[in-house]
Chains A and B, each alone.
Chain A
Amino acid sequence: MVSRRKRLIALLLGLSLLALLTGCGQSQPGKGESSQKSDAVSLTYLEGQIITTADPAQHTDESSMIAVVNLYDPLLYPKDQEGSMAPGPSVADSWTPSPDGKTYTFQLHQGIKFHDATELTADDVVFSMQRMLALKKGFSWLWSGVLKPENVQAKDRYTVVFQLDKPYAPFLSTLEQLFVVNKKLVTANKQAGNFGDNGDYGVAYLERHDAGSGPYTMGSFSKDSELVLNKFKDYWRGWKPGQVDVVHYKVVKEEATQKTVLLSNQADMIDQWHSAEFYADLKSKPGIAVQESPSVQLFQVSLNTQKAPLDDIHFRQAVTYAFDYDAAAQSIFGGAAVAQGPVPIKTLWHNDAIPAFKRDLDKARQELAQSKYKPGQYKLDYLYINTNEQERQTGLLLQQNLKDLGIEVNLIGQPWAQITQAAAKLETTPHMVAVFDTLKYPHPDSHTFGIYHSSAKGSYRATAWLQNTDIDKILEQARQATDPKDQESLYKEAQQKIVDQFPNLFIVNPTHRIAMHDYVKGYRYVGLLGYDVNFYDFSIQK
């Protein structure tokens, strides 16, 4: 008895100690905040994935894009104030293309200061582009093959000239991904590396520091927990009262935790990667605003065109017509638009003549009858991200729809890293892969050339492994056409040709949703990944 009582006392002591500790943990930040200068406006944003990098030559996904947009300035910025993604002035004030579409001359804005107070000049732009091309990471694929490093030149202190190898229709749009780094600072902090005189091109330094001219400077940065951004007082676009001084850009992976933290006022805003139902629930809470906008994202399920039985176009058509697109759009994506072809509907030069697919079981059966494969001959593997609810639900719907044709589907949930790995080789790519693909630059080229040209193979975007010389040829022509009218008709023709091959189930262009407290003002959905979360646009009005 005694020993039992002792144990109980020990347990109680332990519990109270634990309570004390967690209690302290909670009260400390509160105290810290109140003791700070009370006039500093701070904002906490929760991100569901790790912040992969803050290096403007390596960013690819949303979190790294947000980091880069806030720390650096791009050469061209989307005309978001006019509700457009088309490139507008930023570091470059104005530009002139040559008539043959191969030479572009940019006039830079004068008086832009980097965070260390040196002025941003043409040399920095040249250095940034050369660094991007040399590192061959992030968005460098946008220019590899059309631009040689030595063909980027500073004509004078404020003039940069790009000499392309061949006409490249989406060139101006791609410059929204060229962020300018401080040449002097990066060069001063380079370490030994593979790039000759440039050492490691400052890769190690930029992992933990910034070298930008953007509205915010890097306070502290830890990939899997938090990026703290402090207002840069001398930012060239100026500051107005109410804008955010300190940003806590925090990683919180659990959806339920994000919600709790937002509702308990410990965060001001959370990211966009949740289900429609999740935002519907938040919307019903007082003081929470959910912004909804049609997105330029495409949710698609690839049909591996080089793997039996999907190598047969009739079989692909049978699968295509068996899927219930309307059910997916309504019940899984909470009222999204059914996709019309490979290019998101809101994109420039989207081919409106391509209809949205509909479930048509009779047509599916006819196609299946013409196929050389029998429905029960193969089981189809469906690969999806194991934490993504919408991808899993789509898989379950597909499973049910295809059962009506007698085709069995295996669901395989894997982490994102394993999916990109599986997509790298044809042999490891399963029959079907679910992918959310956001426009990479505001141009149809992103979702045509970037996915269906032979050069795109091996990426998670191109798991259909479509090999079609006809499509390759049109896409190359479209890129090289100099007249925008020709470009438009070629890109539209390419979209139709792609649809005719049935390489993907083009499912929906999901509605973009993001949630914040209603005192956060100034949020603007741009379409282009990450640009909507430029904290410079935000203000707090309590």
Chain B
Amino acid sequence: MSTASRTDLSSVRNEELRRGWTRLKRSPLSIVGLVIVALVVLAAVFAPVLAPYPQDAGPGVHFDRVHKPPSLAHLFGTDDVGRDIFSRSLFGARLSLGLGMIVLAIGMGIGIPLGLIAGYWGRGVATLIMRTADIFLAIPSLVLALAVAAAFKPTLTTTMIAISFSWWPWFTRLVYGEALRIKENQFVESSRGLGASSWRTAYHEILPNLISPIIVKATLDMGFVIMMDASLSFLGLGAQPPTPAWGTMIAEGRQYLPTIWWQATMPGLMILVTVMGFNLLGDGFRDLLDVHADIGEG
């Protein structure tokens, strides 16, 4: 009997996916998002191969080619010590995506179990966990991240820890809300009725139903995390020179605006396009997976 219901369920899921894909296709913006994200990921992975001047991502100065405007030799121009901005932007993608993934992994690693515990077991534990999450949410995340980053030496690792710190409660809240809703469903009750342990019920019955909203939220959040990383490094609290972080590159280049417009604008465009890509893709996923949950914004 159980095998029969499984196949029913999977065919229902396939049908849902098919409908979702149709919806996704109808929204050209989502496709644009998908293409952008794919390009940025490719750029990040193959940065050392694609970059025309890979050594410019490391220590080094070239005073003979300072502030050259964009040209074929230097697609994005060169910066105030003669480094190729295009090459640095590609390596910057590596840094931003890597940081985004690590932050979200930590955020989810802490947030999802806590949300599940709070949602499934409820009562005192839930109050404790959710109020703690509320406290973290009450502090604006950029301010919290600033405080953590300023308290320690400004490095990439501190930035990462700082952002993760302010990110996990979003996942806790999402998972908590969804778990509360799903808990009341019949299949959960029947699972319990069949004698499954709480752990098994939470892990095998509730969690799989949460995957869609989590994927959507993670995709949307990727853009926000990249933004926040850029803001922190713009303020001088992220990666230190010569690391090619986008925020740092803008901070360095803004002094030369508006004459040397390319030094700040090019990494700025990289951020703009990447964040937009993730947001469009996230919206697309939302349609695709038919998620109605309140995802919230980081």
What residues of chain A have their CB less than 8 Å away from a CB belonging to chain B?
A: 254-256, 260, 275, 277-278, 281, 327, 330-331, 386-387, 389, 392-393, 395-397, 399-400, 403, 409-415
A49–B175 CA distance with the chains assembled, in angstroms: 47
Q: How far is the CB of A537 from chain B (nearest CB, A)?
A: 29
| Residues in B neighbouring A331, C-beta threshold 8 A | 63, 66
Name the one of B236, B242, B254, B256 contacting A277, with C-beta atoms under 8 angstroms. B256
Closest A residue, CB atoms, query B60: A400
Closest A residue, CB atoms, query B236: A386
Q: What would be 19 A-B contacts, judged by CB atoms less than 8 Å apart?
A: A256-B254, A256-B257, A277-B80, A277-B256, A278-B256, A330-B63, A331-B63, A387-B236, A389-B80, A392-B252, A395-B241, A396-B59, A399-B59, A400-B60, A400-B61, A403-B60, A410-B240, A411-B241, A414-B236
Q: How far is the CB of B202 from chain A (nearest CB, A)?
A: 39
| Residues in A neighbouring B252, C-beta threshold 8 A | 389, 392
| Residues in A neighbouring B259, C-beta threshold 8 A | 281
What residues of chain B have their CB less than 8 Å away from a CB belonging to chain A?
A: 59-61, 63, 66-67, 80-81, 153-154, 236, 240-242, 252, 254-259
A43–B153 CA distance with the chains assembled, in angstroms: 42
Closest 6 CB pairs of A and B: A331-B63, A386-B236, A399-B59, A256-B257, A411-B241, A255-B255
Q: How far is the CB of A401 from chain B (nearest CB, A)?
A: 9
Task: List the count of A-B residue pairs having beta carbons below 8 Å apart.
Answer: 62
B contact face: mostly helix, strand, loop, or mixed = loop
Considering residues B66, B67, B242, B255, which has the most beta carbons from chain A within 10 angstroms of its beta carbon?
Answer: B255
| Residues in B neighbouring A414, C-beta threshold 8 A | 154, 236
| Residues in B neighbouring A277, C-beta threshold 8 A | 67, 80, 256
A393–B62 CA distance with the chains assembled, in angstroms: 11
| Residues in A neighbouring B236, C-beta threshold 8 A | 386-387, 413-415
Name the one of A275, A396, A410, A412 contacting B255, with C-beta atoms under 8 angstroms. A275
| Residues in A neighbouring B256, C-beta threshold 8 A | 256, 277-278
Name the one of B59, B61, B240, B255 contacting A413, with C-beta atoms under 8 angstroms. B240
A387–B66 CA distance with the chains assembled, in angstroms: 19
- The answer to whether A256 and B153 have CB atoms under 8 Å apart is no
| Residues in B neighbouring A278, C-beta threshold 8 A | 255-256
- The answer to whether B63 and A396 have CB atoms under 8 Å apart is no
Q: How far is the CB of A427 from chain B (nearest CB, A)?
A: 14
- The answer to whether A393 and B61 have CB atoms under 8 Å apart is yes
- The answer to whether B240 and A397 have CB atoms under 8 Å apart is no
Considering residues B61, B240, B254, which has the most beta carbons from chain A within 10 angstroms of its beta carbon?
Answer: B61
Contacts A256-B255, A278-B255, A389-B80 given: A411-B63 contact, CB under 8 Å? no
- The answer to whether A411 and B255 have CB atoms under 8 Å apart is no
| Residues in B neighbouring A397, C-beta threshold 8 A | 61, 81
